[in-house]
Structure 1
Amino acid sequence: MGWLWLWLLSGCALAEGLPDFTGLVEQTSQAVVNISTAKKLEPEDMPQLPEGMEIPEGSPLEDLLKHFFGQQGVPQETRSLGSGFIVSADGYIVTNHHVVKNAAEIIVRLQDRREFVAKLVGSDAKSDLALLKVEAQDLPAVRIGSANNLKVGEWVVAIGSPFGFDHSVTAGIVSAKGRSLPGDNYVPFIQTDVAINPGNSGGPLFNLAGEVVGVNSQIYSRTGGFMGLSFAIPIDIALEVINQLKTQGKVIRGWLGVQIQDLTRELAESFKMSRPYGALIAQVLPNSPAAQAGLQVGDVIVEYDGQPIETSAMLPPLVGVTPVSKSVPIKVLREGRTLPLLVKIGELPEKTEESAVAQVEEDAVKIQALGLLVANPSAEERARFQVEQGVVVRRVLAGPASEAGIRAGDLLLRLGTVPIRDAADLERQLARLPKDKPVAVLVKRGEDSLYLAFKAR
């Protein structure tokens, strides 16, 4: 029985070492709110019946079909739920942009069951944040902390309304910091294993001191439910957005005017770097702050305003929060040398649509060393890409180009840092390349540019 007694003692010691969340919840939950919205769906946004099909009146299926497809051609109203938290006693509330997007009415319900109709002060899709205002005074407000002080492995707590269950409390740990997600260039997310489900969106993420350190925003899921990966917007980023929404109703972001990517081991080797780090510039936009500062394609940004850049995902959030017209020192690696530059940050413009690229094989030249059919760009393609040289990929065959991820329609602009003038020039350059060393090729794809690495055969 001695072993059983020791096991019970060790279990008690382990339990005593776990955090007690009761005091935290009691202090903070009154500032967490439930948000319900009524949204109008226009006919073009609603699910459509198959062509030629109509909902038969009086049919046993009429109610079922109207439930899924609505009254065809008539705007419908839908309702959704989310969470939020009070940031000031006079009624300012933070939530997610997607919670209140297109809402015709926003209802905020407090823990004491009081309800208010909220006004949308401002909303920002890029950060997925929104600021609401209710007409009330002396409301309980959260205490604001800082995500910069969070450590991986630290306990955190979420309070929200998953599936409409108000003030549900879940806990977990910080799994990672600075996560970059597709389509979210301006938010370095906090990753946690806190259980987050539909309805938690917009709710607060607390540290053990009871301070808000993040805004719960999204989950990674293959089923639609929680799978152990949830992401929160750092409160430091959120405050910058919220303050701009409060003062000017929109968010103005800094803009550098480059397209960047991470370096792989092969790319780092081709640029004579000891290891992959920094943000590799794949494109410098004309007349942009980067172009005016002298940044070039092939430069690797390794420091921005005194902040070391380890991955390309670190750069956009730093640029985004930089005040417009501020001059910022940066450091780049260019041909193996560190070069200091000063760039005057501009204002982020609206994104333009991507250009379509023709995929014809007329007058194509076969590049055996890469497994490509390429051609000199036509006058239309030169105008579309805004270039005077390079080669357009007409078809990708089996070989190094396919393995590197080159696609039909890509425009090849450089081998390493050497421009490609035309198809004949590409063949001459390839003939001089060593067969056992990776080489970077600059690719323009639509309006995007990126470097890819290959070994010629």
Structure 2
Amino acid sequence: MTKRPTIRTALLGAVAVTALGAAVSAPSLLSTAPAQAAQIAGQPAPSTIAPGSFADVVDRVSPAVVSVKVKMVESNASDDEESGPQGMPNIPKGDPLERFFHQFQQRGMGGQKAKPHVGMAQGSGFFISADGYIVTNNHVVENATDVEVVTQDGKTVPATVVGTDKKTDLALIKVKSGANYPFVQWAPAVPRVGDWVIAVGNPFGLGGTVTAGIVSARGRDIGAGPYDDFLQIDAPVNRGNSGGPTFNVEGQVVGINTAIFSPSGGSVGIGFAIPTEVAKGVIQDLRDKGSVARGWLGIQIQPVTADIADSLGLKDTKGALVAEPQKGSPAADAGIKSGDVITAVNNDAVDGPKELSRKIAGLGPDKKVALTVYHDGNSKQVDVTLGTLPNDQQAKADAPKPQDEKAQLSSYGLTLAPAASIAGAGSSGVVVADIDPDGTAAQKGLQTGDVILEAAGKSVSKPSDVSAALADAKKDGHKAVLLRVKTGDNVRYVALSTTNAG
């Protein structure tokens, strides 16, 4: 059976995270191509294609790269109360025996409480100051009870965790003793796709190891967090490389190795590094305050698709569509509405929702920003004072149970019902009571339990309001109608084609 490739972190040790692996790669001596062959669209040919050796750079930066060893306590008890350890029966919740078996699970055969297991993990890191501050990954140290740093000359030094940031998977630690440590500098500019990079770390616990490759892509979103903006590199990144630096050929840090895409845990030439432009601000906040304070607008946003752009009269799909401003948020107080499209922050264009989130977060709380907003066919500037990003809130949605008063939009594969007729759906809007998984509406992302709040910018309360909006839009020559849809606590827009409208 073929294993599906997965994103894996680069932590080495007895923890639940699967580590990375691969072989050492040495730079090749490449001959320089003829100048005329390298010229593209009038561009001058480069003087060299690849450096003959990275040895001088490696000699200079390697002393600043360390191994980070972490001790952590792992509980023997299962987090899932419905399943016990091996050999124990599965007891349904609420069963009279549930409490008994759960207590049995927590204790040994002699009635003594089971001792927690002490686990070890290992990653990499690098000094950024002579007084002992070290950058690594959050997932390397987040459960640590003790942290030790092993320097290039084999010296082991205890360290403490200064601060961590789970959203970017970054952490700052500091050695407890000593000074005048060798350290490296952040790169002042972002690397280009095709630039050479050098990854240094401690893969498989072997000791300091160097690999080389190029930047394969920028701005990768691998689903690791809300601010994903990874560099993709093909320098082999392996188990134990988490938190290690990626250098440019000048010996400056352009990224922090974090994860790979792999079917086996070993390198296949697709590695991901947190770019310096993301890391610098986070690490500075951790150093100054021990935590990261991010700017907050208080809006739910989504990409602008081609259908949505056509419905709103936009020329392209740039920007972030506001699905809903949170009540009492900085955005709501500034007058930003559902259906607005934010296209720039302080005159800096926004390509999509991820970029908007990163820009706002990076500006920090209490900053005054000028947003360029497309509203009702016109662009305008909205001045907003950012708030502080609240702690994460987990949304919970209970699927409604369809009852009566349903109406079918068979051409879309939809069965709709007034929200007021569905238990738990609220009093506003129209509920998707049933949906054909192969129908047009399902292909656009609608699902059973969704509540349609608006169609073509107008509130709806019964299925006929939705069908009328589709029919009117088709009559007026519009290709699609924007539906404002609520799923649980989240609100978004769905563009439904008018082709099937009556």
**Higher helix proportion:** 1
**2:474 corresponds to 1:431:** no
Kept in 1, the 8 Å contact 2:432–2:448? The answer is: yes
CA distance in 1, matches of 2:78, 2:264: 24
CA distance in 1, matches of 2:238, 2:251: 21
CA distance in 1, matches of 2:78, 2:135: 27
3-state secondary structure, aligned to 1:408: coil
**2:85 corresponds to 1:49:** yes
Pick aligned residue for 1:219 from 246, 255, 260: 260
CA distance in 2, matches of 1:207, 1:257: 37
CA distance in 2, matches of 1:287, 1:396: 35
Give the drift of 1:293: 0.9
TM-score by length of 2: 0.80
CA distance in 2, matches of 1:13, 1:305: 44
Pick aligned residue for 2:430 from 391, 395, 398: 391
Kept in 1, the 8 Å contact 2:470–2:481? The answer is: no
- Gap regions ≥5 residues in structure 2: 1-28, 34-46, 90-111
- Gap regions ≥5 residues in structure 1: 1-9, 54-70
In the alignment, what sits opposite 2:278? 237
**2:30 corresponds to 1:30:** no
Give the drift of 1:351: 2.1
Q: 1:11 to 1:361 in 2, by over 3 A?
A: closer
- Output one character per residue of 1:109-159: Cα deviation in whole Å (capped at 9) or x when no partner: 00000111111111111111111111210100012213x432111111110
CA distance in 1, matches of 2:274, 2:78: 28
Pick aligned residue for 2:122 from 81, 100, 110: 81
3-state secondary structure, aligned to 1:442: strand
Give the drift of 1:96: 0.3
Kept in 2, the 8 Å contact 1:438–1:453? The answer is: yes
Give the drift of 1:438: 2.5
Give the drift of 1:33: 0.3
Pick aligned residue for 2:214 from 169, 173, 178: 173
Q: 1:154 to 1:332 in 2, by over 3 A?
A: same
In the alignment, what sits opposite 1:57? none
In the alignment, what sits opposite 1:145? 187
Pick aligned residue for 1:405 from 416, 425, 445: 445
3-state secondary structure, aligned to 2:446: coil
In the alignment, what sits opposite 2:320? 279
In the alignment, what sits opposite 1:381? 424
Range 126-135 or range 354-363, more displaced: 354-363
The count of aligned residue pairs is 427
3-state secondary structure, aligned to 1:274: coil
Range 257-266 or range 289-298, more displaced: 257-266
Range 178-187 or range 405-414, more displaced: 178-187
Q: 1:112 to 1:46 in 2, by over 3 A?
A: farther
Q: 1:107 to 1:11 in 2, by over 3 A?
A: closer
- Output one character per residue of 1:224-278: Cα deviation in whole Å (capped at 9) or x when no partner: 2223222211223212111221222211111111111212222211221222111
1:22-421 equivalences under 5 Å are 22-44=55-77, 49-50=85-86, 52=88, 73-134=114-175, 135-146=177-188, 148-363=189-404, 364-378=406-420, 381=424, 388-397=427-436, 398-421=438-461
CA distance in 2, matches of 1:320, 1:443: 26
Paired amino acid for 2:483: V
Kept in 2, the 8 Å contact 1:369–1:430? The answer is: no
Paired amino acid for 1:381: G
TM-score by length of 1: 0.88
CA distance in 2, matches of 1:222, 1:422: 49
In the alignment, what sits opposite 2:7? none
**Structure 1 vs Structure 2 CA RMSD:** 2.4
Paired amino acid for 1:402: A
